[in-house]
Amino acid sequence: MSAQGDEFDLSGKVAVVTGGSRGLGRAMVLGLARHGADVVSASRKLAAGEALAEEVESETGRRALPIACHAGIWSDCDALFEKTYFEFGRADVLVNNAGMSPLYPSLPECSEELFDKVLAVNLRGPFRLTSLFGARMAASEGGSIINISSVAAVAPSPVEIPYGTAKAGLNNLTLGCARAFAPKVRVNCSVPGPSLAESSKAGDLEACHKKAALSIPLGRGGEPEEIVAAALYFASDASRYTTGAILKIDGGAVYPAA
Cite the active site residues: 163
Pairing of strands 64-68, 143-148: unpaired
Cα–Cα distance list, 201 to 1, 158, 196, 204, 251 (Å): 41, 19, 9, 8, 20
CB 15 within 8 A of CB 38: yes
Residue 247: φ, ψ to 5°: -100, 115
* Residues linked to residue 42 through DSSP beta bridges, in sequence order: 18, 67
**How far is Cα 138 from Cα 29, in angstroms, rounded to an integer?**
23
Rounded to whole angstroms, how far apart are CA atoms 130 and 134? Answer: 5
The answer to whether residues 224 and 194 touch, using CB atoms and an 8 Å cutoff, is no
70 touches 76 (CB < 8 A):
yes
Chain CA centroid to CA 39, Å: 14
> How far is CA 247 from each of CA 37, 52, 147, 212, 252, rounded to the nearest angstrom?
23, 28, 10, 20, 12
Element (H, E) at 43: strand 38-43
Please enumerate in sequence order all residues whose Cβ is within 8 A of that of 22, keeping only pairs 6 or more positions apart, or say none.
43, 48
